[in-house]
Amino acid sequence: MTDTTAAGLTDPFGRAVTYLRVSVTDRCDLRCVYCMAEDMTFLPKREILTLEEIDRLCGAFIALGTDKIRLTGGEPLVRKGMINLVRSLGARIGDGGLRELTITTNGTQLPKMATELFDAGVRRINVSLDTLDPAVFAAITRWGKIDQTLDGIFAAKAAGLAVKVNAVALKGVNEDEFDRMIAWCGEHGLDLCLIETMPMGDISGDRTDQYLPLSLVRSRLRQHWTLEESDYRTGGPARYVTVKETGRRLGFITPMTHNFCESCNRVRLTCTGTLFMCLGQDDAAEFRELLRDPAVDDAGLAQAIRDAITRKPKGHDFVIDRRHKRPAVARHMSMTGG
């Protein structure tokens, strides 16, 4: 029987759901090729949850046992007033509340926001950086300037934030850079996480041409680095090793070569109030109208969350090969924040 008591949320397969990823905006100041179309049509403001609505829904999840929230986008830090949401959620860190509040960002806004984020309670962030080559960075992001992201990383470090670099592994694009990135992260005291590209969204390019299995990458890296097994976990899907030569962690997120669904503890809320119980499935629960209905109190909101968790599927069905040219799900990665 599914446990839906206030003490916690457990899905039909016995997995405790304790991790909420929240996309606060569909907008971004970059256009990464694996995340967005070049000419994106963004949502009208009325369809986007207000920061107050997001805060209320996050509070309901926390009351039901959620102890980790990650704020994502699009690019979360471009949303006006974002720091107010961070402060409100940061105030819930502690006994009976959140264990951790984290953010995934492209880093461009960190030079002006890193200190405020630290002061609000954030201690760890992920920064998306797929390459150290300025030309390749511009190609992947379509118009980005790598110095903005690098300045953001160093500003975050200076503010006291632990930084993990996220890099999507793209065949023929950045696959010859991972040795350099490991060395660079070691030099600057950063962890690195490599991510397999996922079949999401109608974007340009043949996904079979981009796909690079991390099992192959790991084998190549062992030729130059000593990768020591680690039991370190952050609560997400990454599996980590320690790079002996640098002392830093190296993570692998492998939705394609190794389905990590058996330990999935998370659900994802979009900026429109849609809750996806699985990144790779289309089934979802809608919360925007509930949040805007004065007749729905906190108890009703909590029950809607419990009902949604009873629909969490066993796993995703991602596949990339020459026979499956369409994405597994049609929505862009920017909608659900990864």
Task: Give the annotated binding-site residues.
Answer: 21, 28, 32, 34-35, 70, 74, 104, 128, 164, 198, 261, 264, 266-268, 278
Other C-beta atoms closer than 10 Å to the C-beta of 297 total: 9
Annotation: binding site for S-adenosyl-L-methionine: 34, 74, 128, 198
**Residue numbering of the annotated binding site for [4Fe-4S] cluster:** 28, 32, 35, 261, 264, 278
- Residue type at 149 in one-letter notation: T
Q: Which amino acid is at 296?
A: V
- Residue closest to 317 by CA, chosen among 285, 282, 286, 284: 282
| Gap between the Cα atoms of 92 and 82, Å rounded | 16
Q: d(Cα 295, Cα 18) in Å, to the nearest integer?
A: 27
Distances in Å between the Cα of 43 and the Cα atoms of 37, 195, 204 are 14, 27, 20
Q: Which residues of 281-296 are buried (b: 16+ CB within 10 A; e: fewer)?
A: beebbebbebbeeeee
| Residue 99: closest CA among 115, 119, 121 | 121
Annotated binding site for GTP: 21, 70, 104, 164, 266-268
Amino acid at 236: G
Type of residue numbered 208: T
Phi, psi at residue 231, to the nearest 5°? -100, 15
Rounded to whole angstroms, the Cα distance separating 284 from 274 reads 6
Q: Under a CB-based contact definition with an 8 Å cutoff, are residues 281 and 328 in contact?
A: no
The SS3 call for residue 130 is coil
Residue type, 115: T
